[in-house]
Structure 1
C-alpha cells in the first residue's frame, strides 16, 4: 500500500528534477522570465515536501507556507510564459497570509481541519485559475500543449474542490487526512506537475521557434535595407559630385581666361574652388560615415603595409613630401576585410596628424606584426585635451583646441567605426614629447 512518506519523497524528487530542468533552460534563455519563476516555485515545492516528510508539528506552518509560495510562483511563471503579466506581489501577499493563518489555527482551540482545507482550496484554485484563463485566451501556443494544460488545470482544480466538499460533508480529520486517500491525492498532484511541466516545455519551444522566425525575418529585412542604403549612397554621391565638379571646373576655366591684372576676381574664384573642395570633403566624410555603419561584407586579404605606401604617395601631393616617416615590415601585414574602408581609416589618421601638426613637422607611422597587426600614428601637433580623451572618436566631436582648424568631427569617428566592423580596437592618446598618438589593432590573417 502506498504510504504518505513514500509519496512525499517521490513527489519531492520529481519537483527537484523539474526545478533543475527549468533552471538550466532559464540560464540558456534568460529572456524567458517565466522560467525563473517556475524554477523557483519547483525549488520551494521541493522544500515544502521535505518539511512535510518529517511530520513535525513545529514545521507545519513552514511546510504549508512553502507550498503556497511554490504554487504561486509556478502558476505566475506559467502566466508569463503564456504572455500575461506577472503578479508576484499577490503571490507574496498570499504567502504571508498563509503563514499568519497557520500560526493562528495552531494556537486556536478545537479542530480546524475543515477551515484549513477550505482556505487552502480557495488559495490554490485562485492561483491555478490565472494560467487557466491565460491558456484559454491564448492562440499563440501549440494547440496540443495548450489543450493538455487546460485539461490538466481543470482536472486538478476539480480534485481540489471535490476534496473540499468531502471535508464539508465529513470534517473528521481521520477521514480528510486519511492515510488511504492522502498519498493518492499527492500522487495526483505529481501527475499534474508532470503534465504541466511538459506543457510548459512545449510552450517554451514554441516561443523560441517564434523568436527564431522573427529574428530571421528581421535579419532579411535588415539586409534589404542595407542594400537599398548602399544604392542610395552611391546615387547621392554621384548626384552631388557632378554639380560640384561643374562649379570647380567653371572656376578653373575662368581663372585660365581671366586677365591677371584683376586680383580681386582671382581671389574670389580661388575662394569658390576652395569652398567646393571643402564641400566635396565634407560630403565624402558624411557618405563614408554612413557606409562605415553598414556591415563589412568583404573579407579579402588586405596588406596594410601596402596601403600605407600608397597613402604616403597620395598625401605627398597634398602636404610637403617627406613628412610621413614610415617603419614597415618587409613581409606583407595581412588582415581580412574591406580594403577601401581600411585605407580610409588609416588615411584619416594620417590626414589628421598632418593637418593638426605644424608645417614641416614629421608624422611617424609604424606597422608591427604579431598575433594582431598594430598600426601606430604619432605626430608633433596639438594633441588632445586630457579631459576630453574619452570623447575622441565620437561622431561630430571636435576637441576644444581643434576648433580653429576646419573640420567636420567625423574623421576619427569613421576610423573607430571601420575598426570596430573589422573586430579591431582603436585607441587615442597623447605622446610623451607632445602631439597625439593613435593606435589600431586588427586580427592578423596569419593567426
Structure 2
C-alpha cells in the first residue's frame, strides 16, 4: 500500500491497485463520526459505442448506463436499499456523462456496509420482467427532466455545440431509446465497463487503514473475474463547421431563458495531466475575473437588466469534451448574447483581468476549497471526478497557487474563439 502525505492539508492518502485491477483509495479522518464509501466505474452516458479486444464496434441504446445504475440495486433476494437501511446506512447512486457511482454513508457497521457496496455492484441480476418494469419508471424520470426549463436550456445548448457527439443526448436517454434496451444489452455493457480494472473504490472517514484494506482485499480475492478487457470507445469527429450557432424552443416559462456556450477542441488542449489541470484552473479563474459576481461586467449587466440573480456560468472538463456555458433569465436575450460574447472574445483587453484581481480571486478559490474539505461527501465525489493521472483533488492548492496572469490569458486563447460559440434561447409560449 502506498502512502502520500499532503502536509499542507494534514491529509494522508493511501492507495493500492489490487490484483484484479481495482484502484483503492483510503483517506482516514478519525475526527469524523461518519464514513463514506464510493464505488465508481469509468462509464457514463456518452459511452454508447464501444468494442472490447478486437471485436467489431457495437452501439447500444442511449441511456443504458443510467438504466444499469437503476437495475444494479435490484436483486433476486430483494432491494439492496433495504439492506443498507437495515445496516443503518444511507445509500445512493448517480450517473454522469462519463461515470457511474454507487455510495453509502454510515456511522456504524462500516465493514458490513462496505462489503454490501462491493457485493451488490459486482453481482448483476437482470430478468426480462424486471427490465420491462424499469422502463416505465425511467420513462417518467425522463419526462420529469423534459419538463424542467433549466435542463431543457442546457441540453438545447449541447445540441448546438455537439450535434454529433452523444454528449447532447439526455443522460437518461429518450423514451424511445430505453424501450430498446434488452437484458443482453445490460449484461454486455456491464461486463465491459464494470470490470474492477475500470473502477475506483474510495473510502473516507473514521476508518483504520490496514483493517479496511484487508476487508477489501479478502472480499475481492474471494471472487473470480475474467482478464481485464481492452476497451475502445468511439466518438464522432467534429469541427467548428458542425456547430449550430443558434436555435430556440418554447416552454411554459414565466421569463425567457438564454444560454451561450463555448466548445473546446482537443487539439487546443495543452499536453500532460498537470498542464491540463492548470488549464482548467486558469480558465475558471479567468471566467471569474470576467463575469464573477464581484466583477464590473456582472454589475453593469445586472444594472442594465440584461441579467438577473439567476445568472450563472460553469466550465466542464471531462473525458472527450470541455466547454464553458453562461445562462440567465432575461427579457433582453439579444443584448445578453451580444454582451456576453463581446466580453469573452475581448478578454485580453478587459481592465479587470489584472494581477491584483487574480491574486484576490486565487485567495477566494483557496478559501472555498479549504472550507469544502469539511465535507466527506464533497471530498469523495470530487476526488473521483478530479483524477488527472497521478494528480488528485489534494494537489489543487499547489496548482491554484501556481497560476499567473499569463496562464489565464493563454487558457483564454485556447478556448474563447468566435467560431466555437453557440447560443440557445428558451421562449415563453406567449411570445409565439
Give the greater-gyration-radius structure (CA).
1
TM over 0.5: no
TM-score under structure 2 normalisation?
0.21
More helix by share: 1
Structure that is richer in strand per residue: 2
TM value normalised by structure 1 = 0.21
